[in-house]
Structure 1
């Protein structure tokens, strides 16, 4: 009987610990999503105060621009997410947790799956928040078929005969997920060489338009040091500019370059996974 009571007690304790851990992890995750919602509201509010004639889809597409002001998708979202992922991965790398994971390969797979899950959740909240606040604060959902729209202004009077709203949202969501996974893979790689805080800072700097842009000041410095003309673009710009879901990309015959972004995402994930397999924790 004492053995049964002891076994039952251990099971109860284990269930209690699992429940506490789930709650403990859910609070920072909820804080991350709330942060994305707040940042989305601030982005739409700022856009409405600066531009006129905006619709919800204008706000969404502009927020996906890696070089527009303070990029929401390419700077704010990944910074908030890396704070959460850094915290979560530190928990997974506690010696006891590493031992229970069974192998470095399995641990790396779990951590990179964390990145995929966070990317999907953050992208969903980002897109939903931008559309919702856009509907509340702008002149409607989508007016890309109207001559007086911002879409027409940006594209020199061109409009769409039929607006594929479902396709636009689906493509934008895929773009968001791919971009975040790629940046989280970069964060994972950098984090193997420096501290978590250092990796967050480095990723944040890389996400600044003044740094990753094809004509950034870093590129200008390199140009002045090397002298003459540089025939290749800023290599940091490849990840940020390979794909595009801006207004012009929706015109007939235009493209988004999403395959290039997906390819870079895949390469970065594989590199991160291979690097993690050789990492020592204990």
Structure 2
């Protein structure tokens, strides 16, 4: 009998409790909960394989999850073989740089193509946020900001394979999650010609940058997304909204803050290191791509 979505989520939760890292990323979880018709699931109570469709193409994202007590006996390989002949370009994440995942990938024609780093810092001793430059007003998210938020996100992450594809439906999904806090979505706006903030490009008031924070628990928070309109870069707005978001998390009681950053994004890594974030070797997520 095929596994249900509830069984898949239960196995994933049990695996996270042991490993200390979630085996499924946010996009996969949202698809499971909101669009289960886009997910193919196989396996049994020991573990599962899961393939998420990425839309009109045949290429998808694969997840293989095995409960701790059933590892080391080849179940991961069995689940991979049960997926059938996956097309070139199919991706899979190892959430944590697992030697077992690396060996399985190499043996079956998957190439290591990306590293996503997790960086962390406590919320104590945060640098103060600088003053907003002239012509910029900072505030929390308000209804009606959606179109500008999507515009800046698309421009800032034009070459990012996941974040750059965020659309109105994906935005609504995330804003419907229990953790969403409008005050935790910091937005920086250009001031229009009459001195008011407007999302209308005809008056000159447009969104310049944003920092979307996320609360995972009472004590754990995340630098979820920081986006700067490419046309507004070089004005220190990324650092401004990042620090405002960090201080917001501290003010609401968060004690530990983390973020995800591409391992080869040197400017971003330097920015976060300058803000006191550090990384442990174990905090590396690896994406493999089917050759």
Q: TM-score range by the shorter chain?
A: under 0.3
Instruction: Give the alignment's TM-score, normalised by structure 2.
Output: 0.22
**Quick check: which one's helix share is greater?**
1
Instruction: Give the alignment's TM-score, normalised by structure 1.
Output: 0.22
**Quick check: which one's strand share is greater?**
2
